[in-house]
Structure 1
Amino acid sequence: MDLLGWFSSGSILFPFLSGIVTKSKQDKPLKLLNAFFIVSFIAECLGTYYARSGINNLWMITLFTPIEFTFLMSILSYYNPPFQKVLRGTIIPFLILFILINYFFEDIKHFNIYSRPLESILLTLGSAHTLFFTIQKKPLTFYAMPPFWVCIAIIVFFAGNIVIFALANWTLSLPKPNAVFFSSIYMVFNILGNILFALAFWSPLFGKQSLEMAKEEERD
């Protein structure tokens, strides 16, 4: 594994450690995000171990997809009350589709070229709507709120990787330099996403001063 690969795998430590350090200051959605990154950290460690041992770890990525979708869509639903039922209403249908797709069309030991892009599209749309709601609700202090950073992280990672995952099987047939290029793009988006998720945990603490300044401006 090259330097970028190691940094991509290690970037999970940013949100993982941030979630642990700020645990006492977390509300319900942040606690759920913290739990998600504990699960993600364990999966990342196992996946890296399998990869270094020459064992196919793609089945872990496939099985992690419904777990990831359930966690992230649930978190978005807390941050978007007017759209909460719609966001949560996508979870069960997605899980059913995931099972059907993997049973009839996909191989668990290969890239999931159908369910993964579907997850990415739904999460990107859900986070975009939640981001708009967050900014509209708190136009002066949205950057000091966890939902802003959570939504940006989801959009950066999943929107950036929709095409990559949609063409995953095709890239495997490309010459190695091209396949490595797509892999490198994925790693960059993964690193950026993890850094942005980490900021979600810290934003309530670092945003206190900004919130106070915004309140003073509103009084004036």
Structure 2
Amino acid sequence: MKVLIIDDHMVVRDGVRRLIAPLEPQAIAEAETPRDALDAFRRLRPDIVILDINLRGGSGLEVLRRLHANDASARVVVFSMYSDLVYATSAQREGALGYVSKSAPSDELLTAIRKALRGEPYVDSVTASLQESAAVNLAARLSTRELEILHMMGEGQSLTDIAAGLGVAYKTIANTSTRIKEKLGLERTSDLIRFAVETRGGRLLGGV
């Protein structure tokens, strides 16, 4: 089994290496930026990819899109600090087989990897507990990119910051935020920001 670990924190990568040792991987590669991740994927052609959402220099969701554009059969398990359904739904939409939050029990990552290797989906128990929440309806109304931008706004990022982080024009983000307002029935940008902050981390979406 060949494994690619994509995370911008060395301590996390080291921890994942130790955790997956019982699976006896034949080769392990690491990457911490989107560019390095794509290069490593092309070189290694891993059997499984363990991917973080937040990366130095870009979004893990964008890396996920590009991995599947390069190889539609790529098996990816997202290993993220976020346990809310917004990101879990976005990752699943982009083709991730597994989604495990870093607050979940460590053995759940192994379970997700084993299932992904068999082509089976898996969502950890922390995130799965939100499945029946109002986030389901919200996720159905917004696109993957719209959900991602809404979450970034909830973290306090300005439209300028979001545009820079995603590597797109400010006008593109501004237009997307307008569409989000229309879909959510909000009139003012301040209302959208308030909504984004309230739903961040699943507090409103998951009722936690």
Going by fraction, where is helix more abundant, 1 or 2?
A: 1
- Which TM-score applies when normalising by structure 1? 0.26
**TM-score, normalised on structure 2?**
0.27
Greater length-normalized contact order (CA 8 Å, ≥ 6 residues apart): 1
